[in-house]
Amino acid sequence: MKLKQRPEDFVVREAYRVDWDPRGPWWVYLMDKQKLTTFEAVERIAKHFRIPMRSITFCGLKDKQGRTEQIVAIRAKEELSLQEPDLRLKFLGRTRAPLSADNLTANRFSITVRDLSEEEVGRLPLAVSEVRRVGVINYFDSQRFGALKHGQGFIAKDLIRGDVQRALYNYMARPSPLDTTEDAKVKRFWAEHWGDWTKRCPYKGTAKYRHILQHLQENPKDWAGAFMHIEQRYRTLLLYEYQSYLWNEGVRRLLLDVLPEEEMISLRYQAGRLLFPRVLSREQFEDLKARTFPLLGPDSTFDDARTARAVFETLERERIRLDDLALPHMPGLFFKHEERPVVVIPGKLVVGKPRPDELNRGRLKVNVAFTLPPGAYATLVTRRLFWFSELEQEAKERGEMHPAAQAMLTRAFGGPTSEVADLVETDEEEPPRPRRPKMGFLERQRRKKEERAARRQAAAEAKTKVKKKTSRRRAD
């Protein structure tokens, strides 16, 4: 299974609600972007029109890997125009208030899943019925954890520990091995010259850190003050990242009160593993569907004993307390309590017919479309639908399949696929069964055509015989 081989393989469109006002100071545009995060796109717009970042607002963050259409509002005096290959603006109207998450009502996704075998396509209907019946656990997926992915760790956890210098260092002096932009060069420069704020960084990307550096030049030991010069929305996102991890871990523990781990699908992601039930009783489903789980803040309270137990087990494992989330040494920066639904049910879930995959010879592709509420992750829904492919891919990478994953595939489909079975040890006393050679898609299509042609020819010959017999009878 492969996702996002092309930008058009992952398309998301926002459904929104805006109070239009022809005299409003905010000009609203439909932003069409490819291979850009929302932050990167907004930075490009701000730089292009020479306006501050705070003059651009939006409803939510969208994935970099794909094509997205979302609305943005720009505070300006006239209509603006931007038409670039990967970033376009289309004027929609004006409004009095900046955009926020409250303007977003839903997201509609159209996703092409590639590099599938016939066996994988054959397994999909069962997974679709499971998702329709029990939904998907509303976790945060890997793209939420950008700093973790790029080797910076949980910067918010540095703040919780009171090590603000470490948090600032991880933000501006720890280059990502995955980053080839100017920003990585800037980070390497400050990693080599940390503390020497008189040095002049020769790379253009240093403008991003200008206000931080100016503050440190004047106040070399005021790490908290320098940290507060990080762009406000990104600063908040760093807190959300760790808060989202705590949510995922808490909900995972909550699920273990419902089902044994071996009866759930376990999928890896950037920060660990996520558990998904395949089957729930009506009582279990109704309970989870009605539940929310808190994004934790220092003032969080819990009326439910199971929720409280899951929260405090998670905090104990992280070696922090609830009141540590107040960040008393960082005025104006804190974790905000919010409730998030435990289960999300994809709306208008449609799975297209399998078709030949033009990017992966001899393989198939399938289009999946559905609607999700704001904040839910389409990649998680897709991964849940193709969970068997994910487990087998993980087994190929590791050279073995985890016993729990193997047991799950056996219960669901009677065993792992032949490809993965090669990775699993067999009993030496029983010789392995010979594998039938695989037949490619084109070969299958050729044989089907030959069979149809043979049937048509046989039908034509039978029809001719009937006509001859009828003619003879008439002649007699």
Which CATH number covers residue 14? 3.30.70.3160
Task: Tell whether 225 is covered by a domain.
Answer: yes
My answer on whether 223 and 252 are in the same domain is no
Q: What is the pLDDT of residue 132?
A: 95
For the stretch 252-261, pLDDT in tens is: 999 999 999 9
End-to-end CA distance of the chain: 67
CATH number for the domain including 137? 3.30.2350.20
Do 258 and 157 have their domain in common? no
Task: Give the span between the Cα atoms of 299 and 307, in whole angstroms.
Answer: 15
What count of other Cβ atoms lies within 10 Å of the Cβ of residue 315?
18
List of long-range contacts for 56-60, beta carbons under 8 Å, 24+ apart: 57/26, 57/98, 57/99, 57/100, 58/31, 58/99, 59/14, 59/16, 59/99, 59/100, 59/101, 59/103, 59/104, 59/374, 60/14, 60/101, 60/104, 60/107, 60/374, 60/375
Instruction: Kindly state whether residue 372 falls inside one of the protein's structural domains.
Output: no
Query: Residue 243: which domain range?
Result: 132-145+235-346
Burial of 225 (0-12, 13-18, 19+ CB in 10 A): middle
Q: Is residue 454 part of a domain?
A: no
The answer to whether residue 409 sits within a structural domain is no
- Inter-helix orientation angle 403-413/118-134, to 10°: 90
Looking at the predicted structure, is the pLDDT value of residue 240 above 60? Answer: yes
> Which of 207, 230, 253 is the last residue in one of the domains?
230
Q: Are residues 249 and 323 in the same domain?
A: yes
**201 shares its domain with 244:** no
**Whether residue 222 is found in the same domain as residue 250:** no
Number of domains making up the chain: 3
* pLDDT in the model for residue 407: 78
- Kindly state the average pLDDT of the residues 436-458: 67
Decide if 260 is inside a domain.
Answer: yes
The answer on 73 and 136 residing in a single domain is no
For residue 383, how many other CB atoms are within 10 A of its CB?
24
The answer on pLDDT for 356 being more than 60 is yes
| β-bridge partners, 20 | 95
In a domain, 363, yes or no: no
pLDDT tens for residues 164-196? 999 999 999 998 887 778 888 999 999 999 999
Q: Where a domain ends, among 346, 362, 383?
A: 346
Q: Are residues 139 and 278 in the same domain?
A: yes
Is 433 a residue whose pLDDT tops 60?
no
Do 208 and 90 share a structural domain? Answer: no
Same domain, 158 and 265: no
- 382 within some domain: no
User: Would you place residue 396 in the very low, low, confident or very high pLDDT band (cuts 50, 70, 90)?
Assistant: confident
Together in a domain, 136 and 277: yes
Where is the domain boundary, 346, 369, 384? 346
Any domain includes 126: no
- pLDDT-derived band at 422, boundaries 50, 70, 90: very low
Same domain, 249 and 136: yes
Residues 168 and 203 in one domain: yes
What does the pLDDT read at residue 416?
56
Q: Indicate if the pLDDT at residue 150 is higher than 90.
A: no
